[in-house]
Chain A
Amino acid sequence: MKHSILSEGDEEPMDPVRKDEFDSEACGSIAPKAKPCPRPKPGEAAGGCSFDGAQITLLPIMDAAHLVHGPIACAGNSWESRGTLSSGPCLSQYGFATDLTDSDIIFGGEKKLKESIDYIAERFAPPAIFVYSTCVTALIGEDMDAVCKTAAERIGIPVIPVNSPGFVGSKNLGNRLAGDALLQYVIGTGEPEPLTPLGVNLIGEYNIAGEMWDIEKLMNSAGITVTSRITGDARYKEITWAHRAKVNMVVCSRALLGLAKEMESRYGIPYFEGSFYGAKETTYSLRQMAFLMNDREMERRVDRLTEREEARLSQDLRPYRKLLKGKRAVLYTGGVKSWSVISALKELGVQVVGVGTNKSTEDDVRRIADRVGDDTEYIPEGGASRIIKTVRERKADIMIAGGRNMYVAMKEQIPFIDINQERHKAYAGYEGLLRLAKELTYSLANPIWKLAASPAPWDKEAHPYDR
């Protein structure tokens, strides 16, 4: 019997992804919401809420104010927790919250919301205010849209409701809902200055550890300009004119694919999905930009640039490649897509022997499969114990995952590299790959692994059967 990919038959040895996620329309796009995102399992759930996801997408708009409407914890426990960097304004790093109390919840928090918006507008004069709903304000039925609308009219700046309370679903869904808010309230509401050269929108690149800057530098040296950054190190204004860009690049972020699709149908902007992890992916992405810009001269410049950069990189990488060759890694990423990191690791000679597919869509899994060997283990869902088991069984040398699992790895004395939102190292582009190679080498070569593994001298004296 031929099983469709959706079936749970035994023929599928790994069953790499929960079946609901195969519906690529489910979490990854704006269009029909035929199927809901998979329900998290009580007692076994991990990961953030949709509110968190919406913030991840929008907080990098650095000059805007971001106001969280709800009791304190949603904002209080989450502000300043991301590694997104700013090259200038930093109002977005302020934690704003309506901080609702008992009585606000009984009598309604709309008045407090209104006053908070006015207060922020007057004191900080931001170009726009984003207002986030949270579980409680959604549950008690606050009419945030209306409050925002009248506030915007009153104070004369955009006040954008982001309806992504935590309990509607996963972080991914929150990313998508934030994309919806941008489409509905921001994109297309402004125009670039007349002489601004137009180019590419970078969608879903959040400037973690400054990666955006490396990417921009590369693009600029090939003569490609960035029209809008959506949203790493962005300014509010530049997103209002995103509809004037010639190309959209979705930077390994499926959740915002819907945004690109919608912009294609509304404004006729072609888009492609790409990544900057690894030299090959970087080269491909730059080429793709030039190709879609439909500019011969630009294509030639890209070719020259990528050739030069790749040659230099392979020179610089030589000593590290020697050390890293044949090393085995288990990769478990949340935000950053596994497939692109796999490419980067492969270029360094590191073999990926286990890979997390918990957040991957069908396309992602296909891409992963294209890039790894047959004996790579797929880890369909989270749980640190599962990851560690894979590391042990597959005799991996290093674990590459998000901060959540960092200290778990430390306890098990497994070399570790942080790949997610909270990290402090930029791994994008050619420079980034070199940085990754160095990081891997430092981590593997650190003397601590030997020291921690050897017992105290008095323990060595003990007879083996005593222990």
Chain B
Amino acid sequence: MTVNRRKKPASVNPMKIGQSLGAVLALQGCYRAMPLIHGSQGCSAFPKALLTRHFREPIAVQTSALQEMDVIFDANRNLEEALNLVLSKHRPDIIGIIGTELTDVAGVDYQNMLKTYKRERNMRGGLAFSVVLPDFRGSLESGFSSTVEAMIDEMIQQVGHRGSRSVNTRQITLLPGSFLTPADVMELKEIISSFGFEVIALPDISTSLSGHLLTGFSPLTRGGVPLDSMLQSLQSGLTIAIGGSMERPARRLHNALGTPYKVFEGAMGLKASDELLHFLHQISGEPVPLRYCWQRENLLDSMLDAHFQFAGMSALTALEPDHLYSVSGWLEELGVEQKALITSYETPLVAGMEREVWVGDLDDAEVLGKGADLWISNSHGIAGAQRIGAAFMPAGFPVWNELGAYMSVSVGYRGAMEWSNKAGNLLMQREAGHRESSVRHR
């Protein structure tokens, strides 16, 4: 349908997150990686603090620490210094240089600089790439997918000269979108591999940001997909992308290597899960594992139990585009009225949605969603939800008011069930609160 915007000059209570943060997130899913933000200090300190707050994990990131004069005279001198230091001190396998609005506006050409740098130092074996991500375009989601795309590009180039490629039809490359939690990625890997496939997730935050105890501190990422698996993924017989934003990286693999791909735009709810499992069943020729048949029953049963709770209820959802699409599909199945759908920026996926979508901020959510019973957004929405008297359900990024949010599952039958129960519980508590206060006021 249409994508609307409310007319107002300033952004009030923004939900948009800088693209560069998405890039840092993507790189956390690669083993022994170092995202290097080419910009001023704050541009790496804020994302680091925010990601730490959300995942409750240390986050690997560095900066070229530009200061005013560096920007004006020679920003790449700083980048070179940073590269020298990071390479000699930590020896990362993967290094992603993330250009910011600062280098963009100043017109710094770090792409070429990186090329020369790699040639001069005779850099081989690792993966070093750059990506242009000014914060005045896109949001977390686009930063994440662009980074995955740049990473794939670099991988293709690196193995490109090694002759023909043998295709492993039992191996699938999974491209999980930025809105998936570590537990989601884990769940997807399990689902796909239960049909007898090898899965390589790119990136794989399920093994880096899922909270594991690894002693021996390193400023690099500690977990995620290792470089050799990444390169091996080029042999996969199929790419599965989750989220519309991941189509471009999938297409990149297709164009360069001929790897067929399948995009699942939605990942939540009965229908989306049915589609995924049916597809896997068809391509593998394997029966759907019993446990998913069970989970499907469980989900349907819990939806029946919960439907009393959702009857006549309305929700407002303010999330990144892919996530919004996914959650909206799930709400549809619950029969909840969707009062307002707000997202951070326009993508083809949300533009093509059947419902009306607004590009805006959490203030718009408050205005457009007035009267909603359930408010779904990142933790910045708590105050707004309180003001309009809606039950608050944290989702997306960042979430800091809940322990273990990063481990909650939303995909598959299990995820849909978890979310339905959670939303239903929130509404039930809210109702109880209302009842109590009405008794008190009598």
Say yes or no for A140: interface residue by CB 8 A criterion: yes
**Bound-state Cα–Cα, A419 to B71, Å:** 34
Chain A residue with the shortest CB-CB distance to B64: A42
A81's partner among B49, B89, B135 (CB-CB below 8 A) is: B49
Q: Within 8 Å CB of A112, what residues of B?
A: 9-10
Proximity bits, A395-433, B CB within 8 Å = 1, else 0 = 000000001101110011100000000100000000000
Residues facing B in A98-135 (CB within 8 A) are 98-102, 104-105, 112, 115-116, 118-120, 135
Say yes or no for A40: interface residue by CB 8 A criterion: yes
Please state if B136 and A42 are interface contacts (CB–CB under 8 Å): no
Q: A42-B79, A43-B62, A408-B217 are in contact. Are A96 and B12 (CB under 8 A)?
A: yes
Say yes or no for A89: interface residue by CB 8 A criterion: no
Please state if B82 and A42 are interface contacts (CB–CB under 8 Å): yes
Say yes or no for A369: interface residue by CB 8 A criterion: no
Please state if A40 and B67 are interface contacts (CB–CB under 8 Å): yes
Chain B residue with the shortest CB-CB distance to A116: B10
A79's partner among B14, B19, B44, B62 (CB-CB below 8 A) is: B14
Would you give the shortest CB distance from A254 to chain B, in whole angstroms? Answer: 19
Q: Within 8 Å CB of A140, what residues of B?
A: 105
Say yes or no for B111: interface residue by CB 8 A criterion: no
Q: A76-B14, A119-B10, A136-B102 are in contact. Are A41 and B136 (CB under 8 A)?
A: no
Please state if B43 and A73 are interface contacts (CB–CB under 8 Å): yes
Say yes or no for A373: interface residue by CB 8 A criterion: no
Say yes or no for B63: interface residue by CB 8 A criterion: yes
Please state if B217 and A95 are interface contacts (CB–CB under 8 Å): no
Q: A43-B81, A411-B58 are in contact. Are A98 and B41 (CB under 8 A)?
A: no
Would you give the shortest CB distance from A335 to chain B, in whole angstroms? Answer: 13
Would you give the shortest CB distance from B325 to chain A, in whole angstroms? Answer: 21
Proximity bits, B406-423, A CB within 8 Å = 1, else 0 = 000000000000000000
Interface size class for chain B?
Answer: 35 or more
Chain A residue with the shortest CB-CB distance to B379: A80
Would you give the shortest CB distance from B357 to chain A, in whole angstroms? Answer: 18
Please state if B105 and A407 are interface contacts (CB–CB under 8 Å): no
Say yes or no for A49: interface residue by CB 8 A criterion: yes
Q: Within 8 Å CB of B217, what residues of A?
A: 384-385, 388, 408, 411-412
Q: A42-B82, A76-B16, A77-B50 are in contact. Are A67 and B10 (CB under 8 A)?
A: yes
Say yes or no for B229: interface residue by CB 8 A criterion: no
A42's partner among B9, B45, B63, B71 (CB-CB below 8 A) is: B63
Q: A43-B83, A43-B85, A44-B85 are in contact. Are A80 and B380 (CB under 8 A)?
A: yes
Say yes or no for A46: interface residue by CB 8 A criterion: yes
Q: A49-B42, A403-B49 are in contact. Are A168 and B11 (CB under 8 A)?
A: no
Proximity bits, B62-103, A CB within 8 Å = 1, else 0 = 111111101100000011011111100100000000000110
Q: Within 8 Å CB of A46, what residues of B?
A: 45
Say yes or no for B383: interface residue by CB 8 A criterion: yes
Q: Within 8 Å CB of B68, what residues of A?
A: 138, 165, 167-168
Q: Within 8 Å CB of A118, what residues of B?
A: 9
Say yes or no for A195: interface residue by CB 8 A criterion: no
**Bound-state Cα–Cα, A49 to B48, Å:** 13
Scoring B81, B102, B363 by chain A CB atoms within 10 A of each residue's CB, the highest score goes to: B102
Say yes or no for A57: interface residue by CB 8 A criterion: no
Would you give the shortest CB distance from A328 to chain B, in whole angstroms? Answer: 19
Chain A residue with the shortest CB-CB distance to B10: A116
Proximity bits, B385-405, A CB within 8 Å = 1, else 0 = 000000000000000000000
Q: Within 8 Å CB of B81, what residues of A?
A: 41-43
B135's partner among A41, A72, A165, A168 (CB-CB below 8 A) is: A72
Please state if A40 and B48 are interface contacts (CB–CB under 8 Å): no
Would you give the shortest CB distance from A93 to chain B, in whole angstroms? Answer: 7
A73's partner among B10, B21, B52, B214 (CB-CB below 8 A) is: B21
**Bound-state Cα–Cα, A99 to B135, Å:** 9
Q: Within 8 Å CB of B294, what residues of A?
A: none
Please state if A99 and B46 are interface contacts (CB–CB under 8 Å): no
Say yes or no for A204: interface residue by CB 8 A criterion: no
Please state if B137 and A77 are interface contacts (CB–CB under 8 Å): no
**Bound-state Cα–Cα, A94 to B40, Å:** 25
Please state if A49 and B41 are interface contacts (CB–CB under 8 Å): yes
Interface size class for chain A?
Answer: 35 or more
Please state if B78 and A42 are interface contacts (CB–CB under 8 Å): yes
Q: Within 8 Å CB of A411, what residues of B?
A: 58, 213-215, 217
Please state if B63 and A45 are interface contacts (CB–CB under 8 Å): yes
Please state if B64 and A99 are interface contacts (CB–CB under 8 Å): no
Q: A100-B136, A136-B105 are in contact. Are A73 and B8 (CB under 8 A)?
A: no
Please state if B85 and A41 are interface contacts (CB–CB under 8 Å): yes
Please state if B215 and A404 are interface contacts (CB–CB under 8 Å): no
Chain A residue with the shortest CB-CB distance to B36: A43
Please state if A167 and B102 are interface contacts (CB–CB under 8 Å): yes
**Bound-state Cα–Cα, A138 to B105, Å:** 11
Q: Within 8 Å CB of B156, what residues of A?
A: none
B45's partner among A47, A71, A72 (CB-CB below 8 A) is: A47
Residues facing B in A370-404 (CB within 8 A) are 383-385, 388, 403-404
Say yes or no for B126: interface residue by CB 8 A criterion: no
Say yes or no for B142: interface residue by CB 8 A criterion: no
Chain B residue with the shortest CB-CB distance to A106: B105
**Bound-state Cα–Cα, A166 to B56, Å:** 26
Chain B residue with the shortest CB-CB distance to A78: B46
Q: A105-B136, A166-B43, A384-B219 are in contact. Are A407 and B102 (CB under 8 A)?
A: no
Chain A residue with the shortest CB-CB distance to B382: A80
Please state if B102 and A135 are interface contacts (CB–CB under 8 Å): yes
Q: A167-B102, A403-B52 are in contact. Are A74 and B42 (CB under 8 A)?
A: yes
Scoring B45, B62, B66, B78 by chain A CB atoms within 10 A of each residue's CB, the highest score goes to: B45
Q: Within 8 Å CB of B9, what residues of A?
A: 98, 112, 115-116, 118-119
Chain B residue with the shortest CB-CB distance to A174: B42
Please state if B18 and A167 are interface contacts (CB–CB under 8 Å): no
Q: Within 8 Å CB of B214, what residues of A?
A: 411
Q: A71-B101, A115-B9 are in contact. Are A102 and B136 (CB under 8 A)?
A: yes
Q: Within 8 Å CB of A170, what residues of B?
A: 41
Please state if B18 and A120 are interface contacts (CB–CB under 8 Å): no
Please state if A49 and B40 are interface contacts (CB–CB under 8 Å): yes
Residues facing B in A18-47 (CB within 8 A) are 39-47
Say yes or no for B13: interface residue by CB 8 A criterion: yes
Scoring A40, A90, A119 by chain B CB atoms within 10 A of each residue's CB, the highest score goes to: A40
Residues facing A in B14-49 (CB within 8 A) are 14-21, 36, 39-49
Please state if B46 and A73 are interface contacts (CB–CB under 8 Å): yes
Q: Within 8 Å CB of B39, what residues of A?
A: 135
**Bound-state Cα–Cα, A46 to B217, Å:** 16
The 6 tightest CB contacts between A and B, nearest first, are A73-B18, A49-B42, A43-B82, A43-B85, A116-B10, A115-B9
Pick 26 A–B contacts, CB within 8 A, sort by A.
A40-B41, A40-B65, A42-B63, A43-B62, A43-B81, A44-B85, A50-B42, A73-B20, A73-B101, A73-B135, A77-B46, A95-B380, A96-B12, A102-B136, A119-B9, A135-B102, A388-B217, A403-B49, A404-B48, A404-B52, A408-B58, A411-B58, A411-B213, A411-B217, A412-B217, A413-B213
Q: A48-B46, A81-B50, A116-B9 are in contact. List 12 more A-B contacts (CB 8 A).
A: A42-B63, A72-B135, A74-B42, A94-B12, A94-B363, A96-B11, A135-B71, A167-B102, A168-B67, A385-B218, A408-B58, A422-B49
Residues of A within 8 A of B (CB): 39-52, 67, 71-81, 90, 93-102, 104-105, 112, 115-116, 118-120, 135-136, 138-140, 165-170, 383-385, 388, 403-404, 406-408, 411-413, 422, 452
Residues of B within 8 A of A (CB): 8-21, 36, 39-50, 52-53, 56-58, 62-68, 70-71, 78-79, 81-86, 89, 101-102, 105-106, 134-137, 213-215, 217-219, 363, 379-380, 383
